[in-house]
Structure 1
Amino acid sequence: MRIPTTSSISNAFSFSSLCSSTRLLSRRGIGICSVMAGERISTDAAGKEGSVWSTLRWGEEAGIGKRIFCNRSLNMRSIVAVGFDMDYTLAQYLPETFESLAYTGTIRKLVNDLGYPREILGWTFDWKYMVRGLVLDKKRGNILKMDRHKYVKVAHHGFKELPKEEKNATYGNKLIRDSFDEPEYALIDTLFSLAEAYLFAQLVDFRDNHPGKFSSDFDYGRMYRDVRAAVDLCHRDGTLKEMVAKNPGKYITEDFSIVPMFKMLRDSGRATFLVTNSLWDYTNVVMNFLCGYYNPGKELSYSYDWLKNFDVVITGSSKPSFFLDNRANLFEVEPESGMLLNTDDGIVIPQARK
């Protein structure tokens, strides 16, 4: 879905790359941001101090979460637009509330829709336990931590660490090793995956300790597929986003630096755009909250002023296929009603180019 305000945009890069070329920007008289600790004041080419865009307080040491790290420089002269994702990019979800909500919803789907034992409804989620970078061995029910050479440093079966001898016998201790790719393995490379990885480990232990509760063909691979199906169902049927929309502040980190960041980019002459897999109604709620327009006292009453921060907003994008399929249809959204304008019963109505 699309809410167009300008023509198409190309050459999109993330904001983290923008601040890696402050010298190039200052030559052109564009406002810049310094990435050094304690220097978060925007300046112009003459070095005159402007407003603080990354924090509301002066002289405060930048925390590790506010610093920008880059591994290459970027000449911003060739960059005409900067694009953003919303979920876990602009909207930083609180794991202790959002991931716990996803975990609870997934368990309910497993019990109510997939027939899992009801005693798992009493399980709890430790949101600090899992980290990104782990690999799930679906066939064996193991969770692996590897180095960059794909050497398995640590392996757990459920929550129980495997002895070194068993680990080496299973995954080898030579340079030639398994590729650890799909479909036999699953990468825990997003924050969305942490809750499902934790639940998978719990189910592995539960199956081992209660074999009579599962049929003989109920293996670890099937449990992983069931967890994935339950997680996807929570996202598709609105279980998670309905709760977040009722109280965004409970599940999303409030960040006052986002709107000044958009302004800095647009003042530099660059276009900005948003591409998210979330649909329009949820995107509108979250962006109202992030841009400071959300009023908890006025339920279902939202502003559309946040749209002025972007030249193009694309919702329901179905990434990553969005970037690969040039034949995908684009529908224009009417903001107030959420209805699609250029469609007739799901069929795209051709429109003249503007």
Structure 2
Amino acid sequence: MDKSSMDSPGSKSAKRPCISPSSPDTAPKTSIGNQIFCNRPLYMKSIKAVGFDMDYTLAQYKVDTFESLVYQQTVQNLVCKYNYPSELLSWVFDSDYMVRGLVIDKKEGNILKMDCYKYVKVAYHGFKELSKEEKLLIYGNTLVSTSYDQPEYALIDTLFSLAEAYLFAQLVEFKDKYPGKFLKPVDYACLYKDVRKAVDLCHRDGTLKQKVAEDPKRYINEDKSIVPMLKGLRESNRATFMVTNSLWDYTCVVMNFICGSSAVNDGTKFDWLQYFDVVITGSAKPNFFKEDNHANLFEVEPESGMLINTNDGSPLLQVGNIIARVSTKDKSSARKVFQGGNVVHLYPLLEIEASSQVLYVGDHIYGDILSSKKTLGWRTMLVIPELDREVQLLRKLKKNCENVRSLRSGCIALEDRLHCLNTNQKSNHDENLKHERDKMRLNYQTSLSELHKQFHPKWGQLMKAGYQNSRFAHQVERYACLYTSQVSNLGLSSQNQYYRPNEDSMQHEYAIMDKVDAN
């Protein structure tokens, strides 16, 4: 896309996680892109209940079509509801441009990629990359923030955020070039606020969900391994549940599709419910995971979608223990679909005693994984669809990665030699060594940059920022017990799998092992 065009700015730790060990030797070897990686030991035999998010977890949306739909509807809202310039209507969305793990600086109009220590490694203002000097001027050599709940930052930590991030970058560039096009003065923070409101409106007014319901195959990937995976969990005598922010009508459409029902839009078909003990819709995560959240739990009548314990939509006083009533019914006739509530309602429904007995699978590092892990102590599995391509490229570029590491080690060795010579006042060799060091450093920086561009031309490797882990990788390592590319990978291993990470190593241990290997 021509970024000069007014009509359409923009264009298309030391710890090493382990791969899930194979099941019996007779089992077929799992492709590396479909394997489960482990940060903390997890013995599946101790798991009594497995829960799932729906959107971007059980239902894997097609970014190019679904996020394009979000983008188009958002632009329509900006122009028609918020009086933005009509030129926006000719803009298009590049689904490949943005990646997860970025941070939006709403005040400056910048989009940032940080390392695990929160130092800015890559930054763009609109679609213009900031130079090293510009980054230092704005962010210096200090941490951008010790926390990201401040209003001046927004996180791109879910694939749902890619369209709004791209549109924000376009608006930043458009504002800088044509400030007079706006009916009132706007700053970058105002642009982001309006984009956020326009996106929320798309979800509230039902336009997005209606489009998906009309043609699910256009927007959602088919995965025929989902049902066998769910059946395997059920047959292993584990409880299964789903907690989703989507409401019942949309949930039913999506689950009918991914479970292979021929009647996707038939509101009388609920065969997919056989794979779950409990389904909680409209959960308002992450607040659902807070035990002091006093949201009412409503029963949903699947046939009509009506909330049962209400009076014309108003909550009825819940006399007695609603959980005791719904959980002591005959299991064959007990209702299993609910709306709202919180995690306190969930435990009796699942008949589990300890939070460590729950494994929850989701795609959102904050809304699903951090909240359930940090607040409740649940075991967690993060779904990262981009991981498949990432690990395939890592395998393909293994020699390139080794070359970059070798160059970095060479730079460090030359620095040490220079320091030694200076200490011994043998300065006659300094200039040659300095020249050699500078040449190797430049070679290293160029090679590292080219390596990153193999993964993404703008943002580089998802899990790295420079030579260190990215902020996103740090969050994955910290909060996800397991992580994998798609939820159905859970069905490729034994239901009693013992996931074990590789041995943790400190930096001094690596140094010793490297010298042993060299000898």
Q: TM-score, normalized by length of structure 2?
A: 0.55
Q: Is 1:231 equivalent to 2:199 in the alignment?
A: yes
Question: Is the aligned partner of 1:331 residue 2:302?
Answer: no
Where do residues 242-261 of structure 1 align in structure 2 (5 Å cutoff)? 242-261=210-229
Classify the secondary structure of the residue corresponding to 2:124.
strand
Aligned equivalents of 1:266, 1:351: Cα separation in 2: 33
- Does 1 or 2 have the higher relative contact order (CA < 8 Å, sep 6+)? 2
Residue 129 of structure 1 aligns with which residue? 97
Q: 1:191-202 counterparts in 2 under 5 A?
A: 191-202=159-170
Alignment of 1:41-120 (within 5 A): 62=31, 64=33, 66-120=34-88
SS of the residue 2:112 aligns to = strand
Relative distance call for 1:215 and 1:167 in structure 2 (3 A) is farther
In the TM superposition, residue 347 of structure 1 has moved relative to its aligned partner by: 2.2
Query: Where does residue 285 of structure 2 map in the other structure?
Result: 319
Distance verdict in 2 for CA 1:247–1:98, change over 3 Å: same
Q: What is the rounded CA distance, in whole Å, between the counterparts of 2:84 and 2:282 in structure 1?
A: 32
Q: Does the aligned pair in 1 maintain the 2:85–2:182 contact within 8 Å?
A: no
The answer on 1:343 being equivalent to 2:325 is no
Q: Secondary structure at the match of 1:262?
A: helix
Indicate which of 141, 147, 153 corresponds to 2:121: 153
Give the conservation status (yes or no) of the 8 Å contact 1:139–1:221: yes
Once residues 38 and 52 of structure 2 are traced to their aligned partners in structure 1, the CA distance between those partners, rounded to angstroms, is: 17
How far apart, CA to CA, are the structure 2 residues paired with 1:177 and 1:286?
Answer: 40
- The secondary structure found in structure 2 opposite 1:286 is helix
Which consecutive residues of structure 1, in runs of 5 or more, have no partner in the other structure? Answer: 1-19, 21-33, 50-58
Residue type at the aligned position of 2:284: S
Residues 218-245 of structure 1: CA distance to partner in whole angstroms, max 9, x if unpaired? 1000000000000011011111110000
Contact 2:267 2:303 in 1 (8 A): no
* Structure 2 match to 1:267: 235
- For structure 1, which segment, 153-162 or 317-326, has the greater mean C-alpha deviation from structure 2 after superposition? 317-326
Change (3 A) 1:123 1:302: farther
Task: Supply the AA of the counterpart residue of 1:333.
Answer: V
SS at match of 2:194: helix
1:308 equivalent to 2:274? Answer yes
Paired residues, what number?
302
Cα gap change, 1:230 to 1:166, in 2 (>3 Å): same
Offset of residue 63 of structure 1? 5.8
Deviates further, 210-219 or 141-150: 210-219
Aligned to 2:103, what secondary structure does the other structure show? strand
Distance change >3 Å, CA 302–CA 292, structure 1 → 2: farther
Secondary structure in structure 2 of the residue aligned to 1:126: coil
8 A contact 2:243–2:283 mirrored in 1: yes
Residue in structure 2 matched with residue 167 of structure 1 by the alignment: 135
Q: Which amino acid aligns with 1:321?
A: N
- How large is the Cα RMSD of the aligned pairs? 2.2
Q: In structure 2, what residue type is equivalent to 1:276? A: T
Give the Å deviation of 1:326.
Answer: 3.9
**Contact 1:334–1:340 (CA<8 Å) still a contact in 2?**
yes
Q: Which residue of 2 aligns with 1:7?
A: none
Distance 1:166 1:108 in 2: 34
**Residue 123 of structure 1 aligns to which amino acid in structure 2?**
W
Kept in 1, the 8 Å contact 2:298–2:309? The answer is: yes
Name the aligned partner's letter for residue 73 of structure 2.
G
| Per-residue deviation, 1:327 | 1.7
Amino acid at match of 1:343: T
Equivalents in 1 of 2:192, 2:221: separation in Å? 30
Q: 1:338 to 1:351 in 2, by over 3 A?
A: farther
Deviation at 1:135, TM superposition (A): 0.7
Give 1:155 shift. 1.1
Paired amino acid for 2:105: D
Tell me the distance in 2 between the aligned counterparts of 1:286 and 1:278. 10
Do the aligned partners of 1:288 and 1:302 also contact (CA within 8 Å) in 2? no
TM-fit CA distance, 1:349 = 4.7
- 2-structure distance, mates of 1:178, 1:265: 42
Q: After alignment, is 207-216 or 311-320 more displaced?
A: 207-216
Secondary structure (helix, strand or coil) at the match of 1:132 reads coil
Partners of 1:63 and 1:246 lie apart in 2 by 35
Q: Go from structure 1 to structure 2 and tell me whether the alpha carbon gap of 1:139 and 1:180 turns closer, same or farther (over 3 Å shift).
A: farther
How many angstroms does 1:341 deviate by? 1.3
Q: Which runs of 5+ in 2 are unaligned?
A: 1-17, 326-519
TM superposition shift of 1:170? 0.6
The change in CA–CA distance for 1:61 and 1:74 in structure 2 (over 3 A counts) is closer
Tell me if structure 1 keeps the 8 A contact 2:263–2:269: no
Aligned to 1:209: 177
Query: What CA deviation, in whole Å up to 9, does each residue of 1:237-282 have, x standing for no partner?
Result: 1111100001111100100111111111111111000110100000
What is the rounded CA distance, in whole Å, between the counterparts of 1:170 and 1:192 in structure 2?
A: 28
Query: C-alpha deviations, 1:119-147, integer Å up to 9, x for none?
Result: 10010000000000111110110111111
Identity across aligned pairs (percent)? 63
